[in-house]
A and B are shown apart, each in its own frame.
Chain A
């Protein structure tokens, strides 16, 4: 997915959730950062997924979770799940 097609509001909300769970300034959480660059480990990843599920009222499947390793992958995944939610 190209960066242009990503909703800026969505990025802002995701960044805010990640920033809150990880006790980081929101401006550090940019779309091109990987979780490794942000120094997040697997436990941080689960913590973020849980907070994101609450924020957006979605459920991220277990098989998808291990593949979310960057802010972009997280935003793309949420966008897809929100679209499915709207469609259903």
Chain B
């Protein structure tokens, strides 16, 4: 059994907006949300894409909020918006939950380890394990809706959410479940974790300028996005709003280096996704790039796109929305899937913000700074993780 799979719900909380509509409204206007960091001080890089003035109790019951690390709070907020948007009954053993996160509950872990190591309290909070476990978001969402089917968490660094959505898509497509909630969440703003990023020397001192000649690195972001997936036929039958279809999923491993990306690995994942969707490269009208803004990623990704799309690569619209929502690591693929689906739905391709000057090594049509009205039927969303793990989704306009 091979079923077409529709996305009938999208929920988002991230720096550009704490709802789907606010998030997409910022992206289509090309408005960035990279600002001076408020959550952590004492770093060499001053800027980040934080969810501004986030107060958990604005969204969640105080006791409920207290049980959850920030990354799980984000996941639950996005899940509730997606479920309400879809209107589907998410329950029972025929529904799956698959979420991605790179770091898990770092916010809580950092606070508790600070009390242990620096304040010599000799103890940590009894909820530290359930708050910090990487599967906390999946488990909390399953509890919320009484989902008793397949439920698990994928951690493949910056590709986590894309792997999660791809796995959920395959389960719905092949009839293992009749609905799925899938996406990713991340809350990386804690001192210990950010110091580790600082030491890697790949965070930009100013802003994120993917594919620009003067790009200086990535900017970290946070948040979550969740999608509701169900068979297209059922979605049509119940008259649901359909944002688009998930049409293909491909993955690969570079088996090359822990941090240096490899163009052939990225190209392999894009080809696998196209093959899975049974669509030719010629049909693709937009790519939401991984586009981190690091020297290495952007040039390698451009090479991989040229490899897969040939001479057409330079005319194919490609943008990196990380220029606006930052790099939300394990949530990135979900934020970008949401952006890609809304781009197809509205016929508006979001831009690469903060773009200054073309880099001949990244010769692509990057939709510089201003969104483009363009009806597109098929799009790719790329995610390439540290560790050389690549995941690519194909989306189709409804």
Contacts from A to B (Cβ < 8 Å): 41-43, 46, 49-50, 62-63, 65-66
B 254-288 binary contact with A (CB < 8 Å = 1; else 0): 00011110000000000000000000000000000
Query: B200 an interface residue at 8 Å Cβ cutoff?
Result: yes
- Considering only residues 268-311 of chain B, those with a C-beta below 8 Å from chain A are 295-296
User: For residue A62, which residues in chain B have a CB less than 8 angstroms away from its CB?
Assistant: 44-45, 201, 203, 205
Query: B118 an interface residue at 8 Å Cβ cutoff?
Result: no
Contacts from B to A (Cβ < 8 Å): 44-45, 199-201, 203, 205, 257-260, 295-296
Give the residue name and chain of the B residue nearest to A43 (CB): B259
User: How far, in whole Å, are A4 and B258 apart by their CA atoms in the complex?
Assistant: 39
User: How far, in whole Å, are A60 and B200 apart by their CA atoms in the complex?
Assistant: 12
Looking at the assembled complex, report how far the CB atom of A42 sits from the nearest CB atom of chain B, in whole angstroms. Answer: 6
Looking at the assembled complex, report how far the CB atom of B199 sits from the nearest CB atom of chain A, in whole angstroms. Answer: 6
Q: Is the CB of A42 within 8 A of B199?
A: no
Looking at the assembled complex, report how far the CB atom of B179 sits from the nearest CB atom of chain A, in whole angstroms. Answer: 42
User: How far, in whole Å, are A49 and B199 apart by their CA atoms in the complex?
Assistant: 9
User: For residue A49, which residues in chain B have a CB less than 8 angstroms away from its CB?
Assistant: 201
Q: Is the CB of B201 within 8 A of A46?
A: yes
Q: Is the CB of A42 within 8 A of B44?
A: no
Q: Is the CB of B201 within 8 A of A43?
A: no
User: For residue A66, which residues in chain B have a CB less than 8 angstroms away from its CB?
Assistant: 201, 295
User: With A50-B199, A62-B44 known to touch, is A42 a contact of B259 (CB < 8 Å)?
Assistant: yes
User: How far, in whole Å, are A85 and B258 apart by their CA atoms in the complex?
Assistant: 35
User: How far, in whole Å, are A66 and B215 apart by their CA atoms in the complex?
Assistant: 13
Looking at the assembled complex, report how far the CB atom of A46 sits from the nearest CB atom of chain B, in whole angstroms. Answer: 6
Query: Which one of B45, B205, B260 contacts A42 once the chains associate, using CB atoms below 8 Å?
Result: B260
Query: Which one of B44, B199, B257, B295 contacts A46 once the chains associate, using CB atoms below 8 Å?
Result: B199
Q: Is the CB of B201 within 8 A of A65?
A: yes
User: For residue B259, which residues in chain A have a CB less than 8 angstroms away from its CB?
Assistant: 42-43
Q: What would 23 A/B residue contacts be, using CB atoms closer than 8 Å? A: A41-B257, A41-B260, A42-B259, A42-B260, A42-B296, A43-B257, A43-B258, A43-B259, A43-B260, A46-B199, A46-B200, A46-B201, A49-B201, A50-B199, A62-B44, A62-B45, A62-B201, A62-B203, A62-B205, A63-B205, A65-B201, A66-B201, A66-B295
